[in-house]
Chain A
Amino acid sequence: MASIDREFTAASFYKFLNEHKLMGSRCRACGRTYLPPRPLCPECFREEMAWAEMSGRGRLLAFTAVHVAPTGMVAAGYGRDNPYCTGIVKLEEGPAISAQILGFDPKRPEGIKLGAPLKAVFLERGEGQARRTSLGFQP
């Protein structure tokens, strides 16, 4: 992956996500992996990152079922009558990330167990130029 010529920015992360790749950065100096990617290693303060593709496999660390949704999610059809789950997933490569959690019933959150194994999915919203991929995880 060392040959990928993209800056370690949010724009690059989302460009990869549009290509259905979950990409972090790995510090060549100390070996730590960061997701979302960052250009500067906060552990060793070096700027020697390489792109690293994540397997997408991880475990649920924390979650919620949102009933009072922000306007962006309301526009996507969510809200009081149609709650959604979002959470934090720890990837097998080490880092953890926030993402929508699918494949569970948000109206029966008691049944969702922390530690559950999950796999990344790429959620498409909008069409044509307006198409945006967002990150999700499901069992």
Chain B
Amino acid sequence: MKAKARKLGRGVALVGAGMSKFGSFPEKTGRDLFFEAFRELLASVDKGFDPREIEAIYLGNYSSDLFEGQGHIAPIIADWVGLAPRPATRIEDACASSGVALRQGALAIASGLYDVVLVGGVEKMTSLPTERVTDVLATGGDALFEIPAGFTFPGFYAAMATAYIHKYGAPLEALMRVGIKNHKHGALNEKAQFNLTIRQIMENKLAKAKAQGRPLPSWAGELDFLRDEAANPVIAWPLRLFDCSPISDGAAALLLVAEERAKDFTDKPVYLIGSGQASDGALHSRPELASIRAAKLAAQEAYAMAGVGPKDIRLAEVHDCFTIAELIATEDLGFFPPGEGWKAAMEGLTSLHSPRPINTSGGLKAKGHPVGASGAAQAVELWQQLRGQAGPRQVPGEPALGLTHNVGGTGQTCVVHIFRRG
């Protein structure tokens, strides 16, 4: 199925964005986290605005039902931030929930129905023990035919990693390089759950062992640390702890308006110029396991709509729920040819000071992955980068085009967006 060049009915602009700190917050519920994001969004609108101008809310959330015992979370959140009785719609597409909410919000504006829409994402995951979180995340797979086989989410991506490694001969060090790079970026992001490099984490462990009088591990460096089973245990072989995004609490919020209204809110809007989305069946039903078909299709649709190609993209936030996912994403998006993504990661071609940095926010790996909030949070990073407000991790040279790539499950859903500096 070839993507035709679809067009939005009218232009859509991003004029405000905010996110909560990502991490583990025992005292905070989903609504508290969303309020943090909403408060930051209000402060981000350059010319200020009356939140009563918001006409509708689209909220990405994966499983507040199972994580928090709270279903029907969209109207609850809407009311909490003072937006009842406006229509509030929850979007659930696993980890792509708020990327799809962003698309739905954009479509609602493009259709002419609304001029001002709030898009958000929220997930509160840390209230459950790890085993139960593993169960809840696994329900994003096929509960009838994949889960009974013993697959977990890390397990799915681990299986994809074996297929990728087998096909292209990638070394496990390539996966480790993704984690090291994303932690370096995350160390520059105060919102990140892991605001630390892997070297800092290693040094902290050494300092702790020394303080407790335990024998000191003899790690020669980050790679040595990551190869140590005690420091970095296997979760689902070949993926180890530092190949996996963490269990996180967090929220993100975006203010979308019709393009003709953008200058009422800011002189520096960010335009949403491309959007693509695709779906797929269970992992075992696909012809190729070293790539995500829905990501390629979503990217094709977004590039065609925006009238740009992979070479035009200056930076991208991609769905690195596991390190292998970032390698595959950089190929599916056309940044590198199939089988070359791992080499690019080894050569530093995805780091902050490369021609096309990937995951300047720290990615899901270091920033954290409150699953239903991750897609919207990717757009928050581009909002800051494309407006030159990303502080110590700012991509130099006034980047003009950025891309977000948000995957649900193992690629049963993928949604890609392209943004342009106004």
Binding site for B on A (CB under 8 A): 10, 36, 61-74, 78, 80, 83-84, 86-88, 95-100, 106, 109, 114, 134-135
Give A80 to B138 CA distance when docked, in angstroms: 18
**Contact string, B137-160, partner A, CB cutoff 8 A, digits 1/0?**
010001011111111101110111
Q: Are A36 and B159 in contact (CB under 8 A)?
A: no
Given known A-B contacts A64-B155, A69-B152, A88-B283, A109 and B145 have beta carbons under 8 A apart:
no
Q: Are A84 and B150 in contact (CB under 8 A)?
A: yes
Whether, in the assembled complex, B285 has its beta carbon less than 8 Å from a beta carbon of chain A, the answer is: yes
Q: Are A64 and B237 in contact (CB under 8 A)?
A: yes
Which residues of chain B are near A97, meaning CB under 8 Å? 145, 284
Contact of A98 among B162, B234, B239, B283 (CB under 8 A): B283
Q: Which of B128-136, B325-333, B382-390, B394-402 contacts A (4 or more CB under 8 A)?
A: B128-136
* Sampled A-B contacts (30; CB under 8 Å): A10-B144, A61-B163, A62-B162, A64-B159, A64-B162, A64-B237, A64-B239, A65-B234, A66-B152, A67-B233, A67-B236, A68-B130, A68-B236, A70-B138, A71-B131, A71-B135, A72-B135, A73-B150, A74-B131, A83-B234, A86-B150, A87-B159, A97-B145, A98-B142, A98-B145, A98-B283, A100-B149, A114-B163, A114-B166, A135-B149
Q: Count of chain B residues with Cβ under 8 Å from any Cβ of A?
A: 38
Looking at the assembled complex, report how far the CB atom of A47 sits from the nearest CB atom of chain B, in whole angstroms.
18
Which residues of chain A are near B289, meaning CB under 8 Å? 61-62, 88
Give A78 to B155 CA distance when docked, in angstroms: 14
Closest A residue by C-beta to B134? A70
Q: Are A67 and B237 in contact (CB under 8 A)?
A: yes
Looking at the assembled complex, report how far the CB atom of A128 sits from the nearest CB atom of chain B, in whole angstroms.
20
Q: Are B149 and A99 in contact (CB under 8 A)?
A: yes
Give A72 to B130 CA distance when docked, in angstroms: 14
Q: Are B149 and A68 in contact (CB under 8 A)?
A: no
Looking at the assembled complex, report how far the CB atom of B246 sits from the nearest CB atom of chain A, in whole angstroms.
13
Give A99 to B282 CA distance when docked, in angstroms: 13
Given A70-B131, A70-B138, A78-B150; 4 other pairs, CB 8 A cutoff = A61-B163, A97-B145, A98-B282, A106-B237
Which residues of chain A are near B349, meaning CB under 8 Å? none
Which residues of chain A are near B338, meaning CB under 8 Å? none
Given known A-B contacts A62-B160, A109-B238, A114-B163, A68 and B150 have beta carbons under 8 A apart:
no
Whether, in the assembled complex, B235 has its beta carbon less than 8 Å from a beta carbon of chain A, the answer is: yes
Which residues of chain B are near A98, meaning CB under 8 Å? 142, 145-146, 149, 151, 282-284
Q: Are A68 and B160 in contact (CB under 8 A)?
A: no
Looking at the assembled complex, report how far the CB atom of A25 sits from the nearest CB atom of chain B, in whole angstroms.
13
- Total number of A-B contacts with CB less than 8 angstroms? 110
Give A10 to B283 CA distance when docked, in angstroms: 17
Give A132 to B237 CA distance when docked, in angstroms: 27
- Which 6 A-B residue pairs are closest in the complex by CB-CB distance? A64-B158, A62-B159, A98-B149, A65-B237, A86-B150, A62-B163
Q: Are B150 and A69 in contact (CB under 8 A)?
A: yes
Contact of A70 among B145, B152, B158 (CB under 8 A): B152
Looking at the assembled complex, report how far the CB atom of B323 sits from the nearest CB atom of chain A, in whole angstroms.
14
Q: Are A88 and B284 in contact (CB under 8 A)?
A: yes
Looking at the assembled complex, report how far the CB atom of A98 sits from the nearest CB atom of chain B, in whole angstroms.
4
Which residues of chain A are near B166, meaning CB under 8 Å? 62, 114
Give A22 to B372 CA distance when docked, in angstroms: 37
**Contact string, B39-55, partner A, CB cutoff 8 A, digits 1/0?**
00000000000000000
Give A63 to B151 CA distance when docked, in angstroms: 10
Looking at the assembled complex, report how far the CB atom of A56 sits from the nearest CB atom of chain B, in whole angstroms.
15
Q: Are A36 and B147 in contact (CB under 8 A)?
A: no
Most buried by A among B130, B149, B234: B149
Give A116 to B357 CA distance when docked, in angstroms: 38
Which residues of chain B are near A95, meaning CB under 8 Å? 285
Give A96 to B286 CA distance when docked, in angstroms: 8
Closest B residue by C-beta to A34? B285
Given known A-B contacts A65-B234, A65-B236, A98-B284, A86 and B155 have beta carbons under 8 A apart:
yes
Q: Are A36 and B144 in contact (CB under 8 A)?
A: yes
Which residues of chain B are near A106, meaning CB under 8 Å? 237
Q: Are B146 and A68 in contact (CB under 8 A)?
A: no
**Contact string, B237-279, partner A, CB cutoff 8 A, digits 1/0?**
1110000000000000000000000000000000000000000
Given known A-B contacts A68-B154, A70-B135, A114 and B147 have beta carbons under 8 A apart:
no
Give A84 to B163 CA distance when docked, in angstroms: 18
Closest B residue by C-beta to A109? B237
Closest B residue by C-beta to A98? B149
Which residues of chain A are near B134, meaning CB under 8 Å? 68-71
Looking at the assembled complex, report how far the CB atom of A116 sits from the nearest CB atom of chain B, in whole angstroms.
11
Which residues of B, 356-373, contact A by the 8 Å Cβ criterion?
A: none
Q: Are A67 and B234 in contact (CB under 8 A)?
A: yes
Closest A residue by C-beta to B281? A42
Give A135 to B9 CA distance when docked, in angstroms: 49
Looking at the assembled complex, report how far the CB atom of B119 sits from the nearest CB atom of chain A, in whole angstroms.
32
Which residues of chain B are near A73, meaning CB under 8 Å? 150
Given known A-B contacts A62-B159, A88-B159, A68 and B285 have beta carbons under 8 A apart:
no
Given known A-B contacts A62-B289, A114-B162, A68 and B235 have beta carbons under 8 A apart:
yes
Give A68 to B157 CA distance when docked, in angstroms: 14
Which residues of B, 274-319, contact A by the 8 Å Cβ criterion?
A: 282-285, 289
